Each structure stands twice: as structure tokens, then as C-alpha cells.
A = this chain, B = another copy of it.
């Protein structure tokens, strides 16, 4: 099941070239992940995975420039793999018209590790967290 998050743009997201800067897209992914796991998770138990993770790897493909506009951009996110102490998420940043036409701005994959920040060390995924991740599991990645 894909999670859908409508991410509002900010005027300040644009760089000196008038595009939403590539760095800001990576923040959009982070905001979508926090929304999916900590804010609007379908069941409780996985909240810590939204904020209490470190990113181990990003692959981000930019397919089209974005400019500031009042309409939020749609971010779909899901889980593609769950391991003992890490999981992989996939994302698409896009607009979808009522007729189903999709304009994709960015596709991405992120490898994440739950982390105990007070002890500065990684930890294993707990059973109740695995259950939340499984509710988003879809084996197909985002990148072509």
C-alpha cells in the first residue's frame, strides 16, 4: 500500500536558477517519510521509524524541474524491503490529474536504519515496527 502525502512547496525552496533546488527534493522525501511512519501511520507502533532513523543510502533520480506553485506536490512512498536492522523505501514525487495522468518529478530509493540516538548506535527493527512496514510493502522499486 502506497502512502500519499501532499507536500506544500515554499517560495524559499527555489534556488538562484528559479527551480526547486535538488537538495530540497531530498527534504521532501524526509517529510513524506515522517508523515508516513510518525504522523499518519495506519497502525501504531512504528512512530520511531519516522524520526529515529538514519539514512544509509539515497538514490534520487530527477526527471523534471519543479517551480514554486501554491498547489502541493504529491509524494507516494512505500516499503520495498525489510531486513533485521534496516529497510528500504521507495518514493515518487508527482502530480496526478483527475484523469489519472501522472507527471513525475523525482523517483527515489532510501535505505534506512533504526538508530538509538542517545547511545549513537543502530538497532534492530521491532516486531510491531515490522508490522507497520509490512503494511506498506510493495516489492517494485521506484527507479527505472
Give residues in A with beta carbon < 8 Å to B: 8, 10-12, 14-19, 21-24, 26-27, 30-31, 34-35, 39-40, 51-52, 54-62, 65, 68, 70, 115, 117, 120
Contacts and interface: CB of A to CB of B under 8 A. Distances in A.
Interface of chain A, helix or strand or loop or mixed? mixed
A70 B30 contact: no
A51 B54 CA distance: 23
A62 B68 contact: no
A137 B8 CA distance: 28
A16 B70 contact: no
B56 A62 contact: yes
A137 B44 CA distance: 47
A139 to B, nearest CB: 21
- Tell me which of A27, A30, A56 has the highest count of chain B C-beta atoms within 10 A of its own C-beta: A27
Contacts of A57: 59-62
Contact of A22 (B24, B58, B59): B58
Contacts of A51: 11, 16-17
B12 A31 contact: yes
A54 B23 CA distance: 11
Closest 4 CB pairs of A and B: A14-B16, A22-B55, A58-B60, A11-B34
30 contacts: A8-B8, A11-B16, A11-B34, A11-B51, A12-B21, A12-B30, A12-B31, A14-B15, A15-B15, A16-B18, A16-B51, A16-B68, A17-B52, A17-B115, A19-B54, A22-B30, A23-B23, A23-B24, A23-B27, A26-B26, A26-B58, A35-B70, A40-B70, A54-B62, A54-B65, A55-B62, A56-B61, A57-B59, A58-B59, A59-B59
